[in-house]
């Protein structure tokens, strides 16, 4: 059965799922998006993702031509059309078709695109044995330039950092902000564990308002762990007992080496393991049901 893609109120076969070459999402990266996971017949944290999508759109004065409830219904409809109970949703809102100029006022109608498919970001060995990552020269965007809180279609900042990670030969890259503090990785938030306490960079450092990040923080506090969000340096990472990354697609990934330095004893740590178990427990019952059995 061909994949069905939702475009502006219609479900189209993958081969017919096209947009205009004059869409400003293509021409200029003018638009916003969300990545959302499906677990156990549920779309995980759908309401939170939709809310963040609308926040991003509001920040760039992009008026989405649907209510939040209609957007959630469209996501569920697309999953059902593809028979999916597990997988990944890419939800995109572009500025729409316009002229070759930059002016968004020349784009009268935004476009909404929903893709629902399966996903495997990393092999199981990475979750079992941990990941090796490195700091790269490309810094995170300034908050008064393109605020990292906006999940926009223009991801070139992250892509440049990922290219540098590829050239180094590691699986992810740590991005610092212009002050030298840790912001995030190219697609994931960063956590460290030190003496049983959990630390993650503050949003003001350039970290994305991560849905998985927030879920892990909630899990940690429910387990009685203390959580803090101070500015972190590479020194804090190098001397950490444990480290892991969080993201919608990646979930929770342990990190065992950074910039050639072992984190802790070079193996995924016990706090990381407990948090991963708690996080996976949440995914079993949290979210909007796709199919009514």
Mark whether 151 is an active-site residue: yes
Q: Is 4-117 in CATH node 3.40.50.2300? A: no
| 223 neighbors 275 (Cβ within 8 angstroms) | yes
Cα–Cα distances (Å) from 193 to 91, 199, 239, in that order, read: 33, 6, 10
From the candidates 151, 195, 257, 267, give the one annotated as an active-site residue.
151
Listed by start position, the domains of the chain span: 4-117, 124-283
**Cβ-proximal residues to 74 (8 Å cutoff; 6+ apart), any chain:** 6, 9, 66, 112, 114
Say how many C-beta atoms besides its own lie within 10 A of residue 153's C-beta.
19
Gap between the Cα atoms of 183 and 200, Å rounded: 9
Report the helix count and the strand count for the chain, using DSSP H and E.
8, 16
Classify strands 261-262 and 172-176 as parallel, antiparallel or unpaired: unpaired
Q: What's the pLDDT at 133?
A: 98
Q: Which CATH superfamily is domain 124-283 in?
A: D-amino Acid Aminotransferase, subunit A, domain 2 (3.20.10.10)
| 3 neighbors 117 (Cβ within 8 angstroms) | yes
Query: What is the per-residue DSSP string for 80-147?
Result: HHTT-SSEEEEEEEE--B--SSS-GGG--S-EEEEEEE----S-HHHHHH-EEEEE-SPPPPPTTTS-
Q: What's the pLDDT at 119?
A: 87
Gap between the Cα atoms of 203 and 194, Å rounded: 20
pLDDT of the chain, 293 residues: tens digit per residue? 789 999 999 999 999 999 999 999 999 999 999 999 999 999 999 999 999 999 999 999 999 999 999 999 999 999 999 999 999 999 999 999 999 999 999 999 999 999 999 988 888 899 999 999 999 999 999 888 889 899 999 999 999 999 999 999 999 999 999 999 999 999 999 999 999 999 999 999 999 999 999 999 999 999 999 999 999 999 999 999 999 999 999 999 999 999 999 999 999 999 999 999 999 999 999 999 999 87
């Amino acid at each position: 059965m061909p994949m069905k893609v939702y475009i502006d109120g219609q479900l189209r076969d993958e081969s017919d799922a096209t947009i205009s070459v004059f869409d400003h999402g293509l021409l200029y990266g003018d638009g916003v998006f969300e990545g959302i996971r499906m677990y156990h017949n549920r779309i995980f944290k759908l309401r939170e993702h939709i809310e963040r999508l609308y926040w991003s759109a509001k920040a760039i004065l992009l008026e989405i031509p649907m209510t939040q409830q209609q957007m959630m219904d469209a996501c569920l409809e697309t999953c059902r059309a593809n028979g999916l109970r597990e997988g990944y949703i890419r939800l995109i809102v572009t500025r729409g078709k316009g002229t070759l100029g930059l002016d968004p006022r020349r784009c009268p109608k935004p476009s909404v695109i929903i893709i629902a498919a399966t996903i495997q970001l990393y092999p199981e060995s990475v979750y079992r044995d941990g990941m090796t990552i490195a700091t790269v020269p490309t810094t995170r965007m300034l908050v008064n330039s393109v605020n990292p809180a906006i999940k926009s279609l223009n991801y070139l900042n992250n892509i440049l950092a990922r290219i540098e990670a590829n050239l180094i030969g590691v699986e992810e890259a740590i991005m610092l902000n212009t002050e030298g503090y840790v912001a995030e990785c190219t697609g994931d938030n960063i956590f460290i564990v030190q003496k049983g306490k959990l630390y993650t960079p503050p949003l003001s450092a350039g970290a994305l308002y991560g849905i998985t990040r927030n879920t892990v923080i909630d899990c940690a506090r429910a387990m009685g762990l203390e959580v803090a969000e101070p500015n972190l340096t590479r020194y804090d990472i190098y001397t950490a007992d444990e480290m892991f990354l969080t993201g919608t697609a990646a979930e929770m990934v342990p990190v065992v080496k950074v910039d050639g330095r072992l984190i802790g004893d070079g193996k995924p740590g016990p706090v990381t393991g407990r948090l991963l178990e708690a996080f996976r427990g949440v995914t079993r019952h949290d979210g909007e049901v796709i199919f009514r059995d």
